[in-house]
Amino acid sequence: TPAVGLVEFRNVTFGYPGAERPVLDNVSFTAEPGKTTAIVGSTGAGKTSLINLIPRLYDPQQGEVLIDGVPVSSLTRAQVSSVVGLVSQKPYLFSGTIASNLRFGRASATDDDLWEALRVAQGEDFVRNKAKGLDDPISQGGTNVSGGQRQRLCIARALVAKPRVYLFDDSFSALDVSTDARLREALGEVTGDATVIIVAQRVSSITDADQILVVDDGVIVGRGTHEELVERNETYRQIVES
Ligand code: DCP
Ligand code: MG
């Protein structure tokens, strides 16, 4: 049966190999299909560590991460990757063309699929302005495009793969506020019943999320909607005001 994409953390504790203290301590939450879960918290709080456990970049020492009730520890990375699309905090482009970077993970995508993903990711205009369009060269690490363009190409790449679970790790930070707003609106239209998890520095990006998790020093110290958290969570208020 095709995956639905329900993501569940059950009492997850994780520390990097060799480290004294865990960076995540007894984290539990559920991220539901068709909904957006946002993760906020100060730098070093453990947000990236948390979402990197979903595609098994690391495995927790205690507890379990599950997708549709199946522990990801029982799946290979390739199996998880077919369900989960991660746009990492340091978006990575490899030497090739725009098209080859976007098709990574879904070789069968047509040019129309790539343009549609670029439209949503707000990358259509800059790619159209390239001399060779989709066939324009990308250098190793994407050093020949700007940080914001790199982010948008990596977002488009995730969209091309059409995963059940989208993970955006601070993926909108290099975008100006209006591009950010347009992108998230278009994203909301195409992600449909997929599960969306967004790590955000800019709280204005996620005030409309169905659920917001506030992470502080590896612990979830608050959860709720923006309105609920503004009302009753001091850590969240501090992030909003900062
Ligand atoms: N850490 C580590 N080894 C790594 C990555 C991180 O020891 N390979 C540590 C650094 C932090 C803690 O883990 O003390 C949490 O790091 P995260 O990258 O998970 O933190 P955030 O993503 O929340 O921070 P930022 O907002 O800066 O991205
Ligand atoms: Mg991070």
Residues 154 and 170 in one domain: no
Q: Is 56 helix (H, G, I), strand (E, B) or coil?
A: coil
The pLDDT, as a whole number, for residue 173 is 86
For residue 146, count other CB atoms closer than 10 A to its CB.
Answer: 11
Residues 174 and 237 in one domain: yes
How many Cα atoms within 13 Å fall on the side-chain side of residue 166? 29
Structure tokens that stand for 184 in this block: 């998230």
Tell me what percent of the residues of the chain surpass a pLDDT of 90. Answer: 90
Model confidence at 39: pLDDT above 80: yes
Residues 66, 64: Cα–Cα separation, whole Å: 6
Residue nearest to atom 1 of ligand 1 (CA): 16
b/e string for 164-174 if b means 16 or more Cβ within 10 A?
A: bbbbbbbbbbb
Residues 79 and 176 in one domain: yes
Q: From the CB of 195, is ligand 1 less than 6 Å away?
A: no
* Short-list 57, 63, 54, CA closest to 25: 63
Model confidence at 242: pLDDT above 90: no
CA distance between the termini of the chain: 45
CATH of the domain at 11: 3.40.50.300
Q: 66 near 10, Cβ under 8 Å?
A: yes
CA distances from 232 to 31, 66, 203, 224, 235 (A): 22, 30, 16, 10, 9
Closest ligand to Cα 58: 1
For residue 11, count other CB atoms closer than 10 A to its CB.
Answer: 12
Counting ligand 1 atoms within 8 A of each CB, the residue from 47, 199, 201 with the most, and so the one to mutate, is 47
Residues 97 and 172 in one domain: no
Residues 78 and 169 in one domain: yes
- What residues pair up with 224 in beta bridges, in sequence order? 212
Select from 162, 189, 206 the last residue of a domain.
162
The mean of the pLDDT values for the chain is: 95
Residues 79 and 178 in one domain: yes
Tell me what percent of the residues of the chain surpass a pLDDT of 70. Answer: 99
Residues 155 and 169 in one domain: no
Residues 78 and 179 in one domain: yes
Index of the ligand 1 atom closest to the CA of residue 215: 23
**172 CA distance to ligand 2 middle (Å):** 13
The pLDDT, as a whole number, for residue 159 is 97
Residues 39 and 71 in one domain: yes
Q: Count how many domains the chain has.
A: 2
Select from 162, 190, 207 the last residue of a domain.
162
Q: From the CB of 23, is ligand 1 less than 6 Å away?
A: yes
Select from 144, 162, 180 the last residue of a domain.
162
| Whole-prediction pTM | 0.96
* Short-list 32, 68, 38, 80, CA closest to 208: 38
Residues 72 and 50 in one domain: yes
Find the domain containing 188 and state its range. Answer: 1-83+163-242
